[in-house]
Structure 1
């Protein structure tokens, strides 16, 4: 089963402190939301985030779109 075939995350939304190369769970939960698309991202699938804006992204494309909207790409 790949990421696309997984069922939606069950449980509450987590609160995360995003750091360089790693993150810390502040409030336990099953997922976080993509800051660009609003899609839920399972904690175990979280790969893209911004330390500066403290937000998660579902994909590299979503992260790039966020940078473009901020005038940085």
Structure 2
């Protein structure tokens, strides 16, 4: 049986080489900007903070913000 996950927030566990779906969905929210990121387009995340980012620039911004 397939579960429809369209327009539903996924919950993921982020690893160094990929992510694992903990709760099905079709997108996550960027930890910095709050914009939705389709799982197929998700390329940037922090393993240490378990956060997704919409762009490389936002991932760098988050890393710099957490250093301070």
Question: TM-score with structure 1 length normalisation?
Answer: 0.82
> Match for 2:10 among 14, 17, 25?
14
Tell me, which stretches of 5 or more residues in structure 2 are unaligned?
1-5
> Match for 1:68 among 51, 64, 67?
64
4+ residue runs over 4 A deviation: none
Mapping for residues 19-34 of structure 1, pairs under 5 Å = 19-34=15-30
Q: Match of 1:43? A: 39
Q: Match of 1:4? A: none
SS in structure 1 at match of 2:67: coil
Question: TM-score with structure 2 length normalisation?
Answer: 0.88
Distance 2:9 2:24 in 1: 8
- The offset of 1:68, in angstroms, is 1.1
SS in structure 1 at match of 2:48: coil
Distance 2:34 2:22 in 1: 20
CA RMSD of aligned residues (A): 1.1
